[in-house]
């Protein structure tokens, strides 16, 4: 149920972005932001973390299309976003999302134990 609500939040945000009008590039950017937020939410759900998609979308919407693409392409990377070319603004957004939009208190480590490390 929580996942369904999250997906609805992403969808609502996407509708909000596209309802404002604009050209195809704006619509494509809004779709890319919503898609990236949904991917992050799916990853968070897999490990039992709580993710606030609306919070993340607000931050991701400020990034360039290049940063969004780099973050999407490297979603499974364990490296620092700077390692794959994300701008300083993009790196700051990733850190802000990690601090403000992601709650790891219920997350588990890869071995199934509680993850007690800080991001």
DSSP track, 50-86: EE-HHHHHHHHTTS-HHHHHHHHHTTT--S-GGGGT-
Q: Structural domain boundaries of the chain?
A: 2-103
Confidence (pTM): 0.68
Do residues 80 and 70 make contact, with C-beta atoms less than 8 angstroms apart?
Answer: no
Give, for all 119 residues of the chain, the pLDDT tens digit.
344 334 434 444 444 444 454 556 678 899 999 999 999 999 889 989 999 999 999 999 999 999 999 999 998 888 889 999 999 999 999 999 999 999 988 877 655 554 444 44
Give 54's contacts (C-beta < 8 A, 6+ positions apart).
9, 13
């Amino acid at each position: 149920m929580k996942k369904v609500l999250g997906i609805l939040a992403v969808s609502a945000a996407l509708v909000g972005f596209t309802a404002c009008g604009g050209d195809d590039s704006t619509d494509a950017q809004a779709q890319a932001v919503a898609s990236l937020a949904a991917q992050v939410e799916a990853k968070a759900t897999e490990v039992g973390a709580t993710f606030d998609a609306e919070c993340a979308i607000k931050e991701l919407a400020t990034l360039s299309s290049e940063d969004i693409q780099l973050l999407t392409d490297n979603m499974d990377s364990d490296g620092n976003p700077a390692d794959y070319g994300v701008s300083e603004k993009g790196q700051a957004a990733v850190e802000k999302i990690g601090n403000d939009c992601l709650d790891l208190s219920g997350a588990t480590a890869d071995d199934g134990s509680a993850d007690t490390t800080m991001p």
